[in-house]
Amino acid sequence: MDYEAIRDKQASDFKRLTGVNKETFAQMVSVIEEAAKKKLKAGRNSKLSTENQLLLTLSYWREYRTQYHLAASYGIHESTANRIINRVEDCLLRSGVFTLPNKRQVEQTEWVVVVVDATEMAIERPQKNNGHTTQVRNTSTASKCN
């Protein structure tokens, strides 16, 4: 799956596939591109576009696929997939826009609790009748041969 295939999907389908909204995806792409512009990069250009690199990382997080399978899907080597995932994670974390709240912020959050009654309930099951079941004699079962 590449970005060109999912770019024109509806917002709900895009979120189901990637785990983020289209706007969030666009923000992530811009953060990664800004980080790439700041860093002087030597060597070859990546085989994957920035969008596909982000999509690879999101599918790694969302689907728990191995890097080997992701690399095979995108036509790259496993070590390249690992480098892409690490680089995208670092760019997003360093930006500060996509970080999780720290412990103090979580403790100050006001929680709403919902209690659900999930006690056991009786299930209707067919009753066992001797007329509907066939019993097998013990002699018809295979025994150990010496």
Domain boundaries, the chain: 3-100
Q: Convert the pLDDT of each residue in 35-91 to its tens digit.
A: 888 877 777 888 999 999 999 999 999 998 999 999 999 999 999 999 999 999 999
Output 74 or 134, whichever has higher pLDDT. 74
CA distances from 131 to 118, 124, 128, 135 (A): 37, 20, 9, 10
Do residues 71 and 77 touch, judged by C-beta distance below 8 A? Answer: yes
Mean pLDDT confidence for 132-146 = 61
Q: What is the mean pLDDT of the chain?
A: 84
Predicted pLDDT of residue 82: 95
pLDDT higher than 80, residue 141: no
Q: What is the rounded distance in angstroms from the CA atom of residue 81 to the CA atom of residue 78?
A: 5
The correct answer on CATH 1.10.472 for the domain covering 3-100 is: yes
pTM, to two decimals: 0.68
The Cβ of residue 57 has, within 10 Å, a number of other Cβ atoms equal to 22
Yes or no: say if 54 and 32 are a contact pair by the CB < 8 Å rule.
yes
Rounded Cα distance, 132 and 67, in Å: 53
| Residue 10 predicted with pLDDT over 70 | yes
On the question of pLDDT at 22 being above 90, the answer is yes
Is residue 33 within 8 Å of 52, Cβ to Cβ?
no
Q: Residue 124 gets which letter from DSSP? A: -
